[in-house]
Amino acid sequence: MRRPQRAWLAAVVAASLVAAACSGDDDDSGGGGGGAGGDFEPLAYDESAACGTEEYTGNLAAIEAVDELTVRFTLCEPDVAFPSKVAFSALGIHPSEHLDETDGSPIDNPIGTGPYRLEAWEQGNQIVLTRNEDYWGEPAAVPTLVFRWSQEPAQRLVELESGSVDGIDNVGSEDFEAVESNSDLQLIEREPLNVFYLGFNVDVEDPPLNDETLRQAVGYAIDRERIVENFYPEGSQVADQFLPPGIPGYEEGAESYTYDPDRARQLLAEAGYEDGVDLGPLSYRNESRPYLPQPAQVASDIRDQLAQVGIRVQLDEQESGAFIDNSNTGNLGLHLLGWNADFPDPTNFWDFHFGPGATPQFGTGFEDLHEVLAEAASTTDEETRNELYAQANDLLMEHAQALPIAYGGSAVAFRADVEGAHASPLSNERFASMSVERDQIVFMQSGEPSGLYCADETDGEALRVCEQINESLLAYEVGGVEVEPALAAELPEPNEDLTEWTFRLREGVTFHDGTPLDANDVVESYRVQWDAADPRHTGRDGTFTYFEALMGGFLNPPAEPVGG
Amino acid sequence: MLRFIVRRLLSSIPVLFGILVVTFVIARVIPGDPCQAALQERANPTACAQFNERYGFDDPILVQLGTYVGDVFTGDLGESVRLRRPVTDLLTERLPVTLQLSAAALLIAVVVGVPLGVLAGSRRNSKTDVATIVGANVGVSIPVFVLGLILQYVFARELNDTPLGLPASGQLTAGTIPEPFYEAWGLRENTVLEFLANIDLLNAVLIWRWDIFVDALQHLILPAVALATIPMAVIARMTRSSLLDVLGLDYVRTARAKGLRERVVIVRHALRNSLLPVVTVMGLSLGTLIGGAILTETIFNLTGVGKTLFDAITGRDYFVVQGFTLAVAVAFVLINLVTDIVYAYLDPEVRVG
């Protein structure tokens, strides 16, 4: 069913002075915004005038269907991580007609291009997906994929052991051995995409956190191995740099602080504190996170380790919300915090924490580090970037603004006969590439998705299911984080200053409902998220958190409640 | 009889209204904010203002109560703030799960508990009696989650590859999507039909799918047995003591004096009277089972009333807490009514109406 021409669309388009827009609407009411016909009328939204205005914090300036299979994105500011963001599942492509029909919230009936299509979602019970026989790539090996859930690790394990499910997420930390010793099962550790660190606000003078030598002394006083061994599940690793190993730009064998109490005492003496020093409160929040499963225990262990070399701190447990606020406003001196990757690009770690635009969490920061990070963010050449991030590692170690301590691990488990079983660091396991001698594969995760329109979901339980159904322009490689083409036929070509990215779509891709994919579907899938005033900007609760995080902000950000 | 039923139903309205008000108030005095609980990291003043407006949480509490009561009378139990679905939908989906489980558990409890109680009572102080009483005490004392885990371990894990193996979860085999019977019959979908179709065993019979029936039964056994132990023990003890009371009465002595065989005395004369208190216990047990199967539901991964209520309380999902509590209360009232009717049937001295 077609919707009549929408007044809002005409208004928006007219305002943005896009030539093809009016006839584009005609096409919408006639041919359906897509199709293989020769009457394709490209949509375009040019909002570059909004760049730099006070109201608009976003970085997206324009989206344009250049022709039926070409989409061009224009950015306000260069963004080397743009492909890595575009690959994220919150930016999956939906048929524009379906977005219209569902008023922008295909929560329980998503239509995508992925290797599996949604067959049934029995709420509270299971989600059943069936193979997309018309998939553009290699079709899924197993005809049916079922998702179930239980929040109890023991329940998931017994279901796996009894064979009623083929794979489980998040093996309980006490169950690793039970899985490994069972020849019917395979344990697969998930590469950590997070980092736990001890941070300093280097502007604080009293206690003397502004003393670099003193901060370095702290670096040598901490026994990271002991912390990881005692307080982290298997699969966790000692951190030797701020980037976790799964993120591009990770430097193999980076130089880092080692546990050396004598060196710590020596540095303390050099800084003029032979008799020890009081560094004030060591702040943390008692919220278990993958990067820090046992905050209180780790905090007191660090306190005791520091005391060994004569550095005194007092534990300061804060309420979670207040703690984050204090961190963002630079109100914490010595503190324990961590970071989970939003998207697998070094900028999400480096620039966010130590770039010139970072919050005052670590103080004003250091010019040399700013420069290296800015240079790394303005090039796509992998080798150059890696060299620059290696330099950044050295600078961070020298300045000791933050001391990386651990990467928190987790694991999945599968029946031994599941071939191609893998764990993705981003938790988006790709079941189409797994095979088993049964006609279905059942995966039990920790929770039920809240919705299957992942533009407006943040929960990994939802994202994993969406990723089997909907695809983005690009994708992360199976079991990894490298970006590869998906609905785009090849990786995009940026212009020289990285503000224009052009994607060429694959030919002959159809959605699960049979409609062909075209550039307008891409434009509209972004548009409904981008423009908060679009009547289809509804989703499940209308927050579109990931779009905001990835693209910086919305057009027409809501001052008042968003209406449906 | 009809007058009795109508009067009982009318008199339960104030009770239900009271429960409605009390749960409304209790839900709101639990510390914690539904917006924080629902949006978590995404909760900020703007988002919460929108959220509270959407659900009417920014109105004065009396206005909220008034709106809610009005809605309930029109059959609208509100919307879950966490799942974004009408509470009535959740009830049609989840109450049947718990009903089927509770009914199965009660069936096991009665079928095993009553004969055990009779056996023990009729051979007072014998070895059988002692064994039954000890067994009943153990049954009452063993926590459901311990028994549930043991059953799971033994039948789902250790005996998995033998004919005695049973599934670890209470849900149907993954990937089984039984067609609702009303669709198979070409009926128009409505809440009542949907509710009935969500009782797996019933639906399997109605669409004549033996394989699904067996599957549902297999998945029901372990949770039902785990849930049945406590009521079974209570019923066995109650039957025993009640039977002993009755066996001491004059009319039983008369019956024995007439030279009737002991078997006839017990089964024909004593048992019927001694079952009266047992019926009360059964009614109470069923009510408790419906509201309190949370541990069993958690262990066997069933999304029923108990688990939903628990999640709703921890998630400050007011409308779900209120709606489900109300539903359990209604179930209680109905069960009590049925109990009374059965009572009247069993005991001619109790006159209804």
Taking only the tens place, the pLDDT of each residue in A428-449 is 899 999 999 999 999 999 888 9
For residue A162, the distance in angstroms to the closest alpha carbon of chain B comes to 5
What does the DSSP assignment read for A278-322? EEEEEEEE---BTTBS-HHHHHHHHHHHHHHTTEEEEEEEE-HHH
- A122 exposed, middle or buried (CB, 10 Å; 0-12, 13-18, 19+)? middle
| pLDDT > 70 fraction of chain A, expressed in percent and rounded | 92
Q: Hey, which residues 94-153 in chain A have their CB within 8 Å of chain B? A: 107, 119-120, 122-126, 128, 144, 146, 148, 150, 152
CB contact under 8 A, B174 and A148: yes
Structure tokens belonging to residue B139: 């049954």
Task: Return the residue of B nearest to A324 by Cα.
Answer: B41
What element of type H or E holds B67?
helix B61-73
CA–CA separation, A418 and A142 (whole Å): 11
Q: What is the DSSP letter of A362?
A: G
For residue A266, the distance in angstroms to the closest alpha carbon of chain B comes to 43
Predicted local distance difference test score (pLDDT) of residue B41: 53
Q: In 10 A of CB A137, how many CB atoms?
A: 15
Backbone angles phi, psi at A556, to 5 degrees: 45, 55
Predicted local distance difference test score (pLDDT) of residue B40: 60
| Cβ atoms of A53 and A505 closer than 8 Å | no
Give the one of B41, B84, B174 whose C-beta lies nearest to A442's C-beta. B174
B54 and chain A in contact, CB less than 8 A:
yes
Q: Are strands A277-285 and A500-504 parallel, antiparallel or unpaired?
A: unpaired
Nearest Cα to Cα of residue B119 among B128, B130, B106: B128
Q: Are strands A410-415 and A185-190 parallel, antiparallel or unpaired?
A: antiparallel
Q: Label residue A1 by pLDDT band (50, 70, 90).
A: very low
Q: Label residue A127 by pLDDT band (50, 70, 90).
A: very high
Mean pLDDT of all residues in A13-29: 40
Amino acid at A262: D
Query: Look-up: residue for tokens 């372990």?
Result: B222
Residues from chain B contacting residue A447 (CB–CB below 8 Å): none
Three-point CA angle B197, A163, B199, nearest 5°: 10
Q: Hey, which residues 280-309 in chain B have their CB within 8 Å of chain A? A: 298-299, 301, 303
Q: Are strands A277-285 and A410-415 parallel, antiparallel or unpaired?
A: unpaired
Amino acid at A553: G
Predicted local distance difference test score (pLDDT) of residue B292: 63
Backbone angles phi, psi at B122, to 5 degrees: -80, -15
User: Across the strands, what pairs with A71?
Assistant: A65, A503
Q: Are strands A116-122 and A126-131 parallel, antiparallel or unpaired?
A: antiparallel
| Cβ atoms of A193 and A211 closer than 8 Å | no
Is the pLDDT score of A7 beyond 60? Answer: no
User: Across the strands, what pairs with A441?
Assistant: A145
| Cβ atoms of A62 and A45 closer than 8 Å | yes
Query: What percentage of chain B's residues is helix, strand, coil (to nearest 5)?
Result: 75, 0, 25
CB contact under 8 A, A150 and B157: no
From residue B59, how far is each of A233, A272, B44, B65, B346 by CA, in Å?
A: 46, 61, 19, 10, 52
Q: What is the DSSP letter of A516?
A: B
CA–CA separation, B38 and B61 (whole Å): 20
Residues from chain B contacting residue A162 (CB–CB below 8 Å): 156-157, 160, 165, 167-168
CA–CA separation, A464 and A546 (whole Å): 15
Q: Hey, which residues 185-244 in chain B have their CB within 8 Å of chain A? A: none
For residue A360, the distance in angstroms to the closest alpha carbon of chain B comes to 21
- A112-121, A256-265, A412-421, B282-291: which range is least confident on average? B282-291
Indicate the average pLDDT of chain A. 88
What element of type H or E holds B47?
helix B45-55
CA–CA separation, B103 and B12 (whole Å): 23
Is the pLDDT score of A25 beyond 80? Answer: no
Q: For an interface test with B, give the residue of A541, A545, A546, A547 to mutate (most B CBs within 10 A).
A: A541
CA–CA separation, B241 and B336 (whole Å): 23
B20 and chain A in contact, CB less than 8 A:
no
**R_g (Cα) of chain B, nearest Å:** 24
Predicted local distance difference test score (pLDDT) of residue A559: 61
Q: For an interface test with A, give the residue of B92, B169, B183 to mutate (most A CBs within 10 A).
A: B169
CA–CA separation, A286 and A319 (whole Å): 8
CA–CA separation, B315 and B313 (whole Å): 5
**Strand, coil or helix: A495:** coil
Task: Return the residue of B nearest to A126 by Cα.
Answer: B174
Taking only the tens place, the pLDDT of each residue in A314-336 is 999 987 767 877 888 889 999 99
Three-point CA angle A43, A48, A53, nearest 5°: 140
CA–CA separation, B193 and A164 (whole Å): 30
| Cβ atoms of A315 and A282 closer than 8 Å | yes
Backbone angles phi, psi at A555, to 5 degrees: -75, 150
CB contact under 8 A, A159 and B169: yes
| Cβ atoms of B308 and B324 closer than 8 Å | yes
CA atoms within 13 A on the CB side of A421: 23
Structure tokens belonging to residue A335: 């503190």
Where would I find the H helices in B123-249?
Answer: 127-141, 144-151, 181-184, 191-197, 200-206, 210-247
Predicted local distance difference test score (pLDDT) of residue A557: 85
Nearest Cα to Cα of residue B34 among B313, B329, B352: B313
Is the pLDDT score of A5 beyond 70? Answer: no
- B13 exposed, middle or buried (CB, 10 Å; 0-12, 13-18, 19+)? exposed
Nearest Cα to Cα of residue A78 among A52, A57, A54, A60: A60
- A50-59, A261-270, A493-502, B260-269: which range is least confident on average? B260-269
CA–CA separation, A93 and A114 (whole Å): 10
- A324 exposed, middle or buried (CB, 10 Å; 0-12, 13-18, 19+)? middle
**R_g (Cα) of chain A, nearest Å:** 25
Three-point CA angle A455, A459, A462, nearest 5°: 70
CB contact under 8 A, B160 and A161: yes
Angle, helix B210-247 to helix B127-141, in steps of 10 degrees: 120
Q: Label residue A34 by pLDDT band (50, 70, 90).
A: very low
For residue A506, the distance in angstroms to the closest alpha carbon of chain B comes to 32
pLDDT under 70: residue ranges of chain B: 39-44, 292, 348, 350-353
The string over B134-172, giving b where at least 16 C-beta atoms fall within 10 Å of a residue's C-beta and e elsewhere, is: ebbeebeebebeebbbebbeebbeeebeeeebbbbbbbb
CA–CA separation, A418 and A421 (whole Å): 6
Taking only the tens place, the pLDDT of each residue in A128-148 is 999 999 999 999 999 999 999
| Cβ atoms of A546 and A342 closer than 8 Å | yes
CA–CA separation, A374 and A395 (whole Å): 14
Residues from chain A contacting residue B303 (CB–CB below 8 Å): 124-125
Nearest Cα to Cα of residue A146 among A349, A436, A346: A436
Q: Label residue A212 by pLDDT band (50, 70, 90).
A: very high
Nearest Cα to Cα of residue A243 among A233, A257, A254: A254
Structure tokens belonging to residue B321: 């807490």
Structure tokens belonging to residue A140: 């899924």
For residue B274, the distance in angstroms to the closest alpha carbon of chain A comes to 42
From residue B31, how far is each of A508, B18, B27, B65, B215 by CA, in Å?
A: 55, 22, 9, 18, 43
Structure tokens belonging to residue A2: 């077609």
For residue B160, the distance in angstroms to the closest alpha carbon of chain A comes to 6
Backbone angles phi, psi at A500, to 5 degrees: -125, 125
Amino acid at B328: V
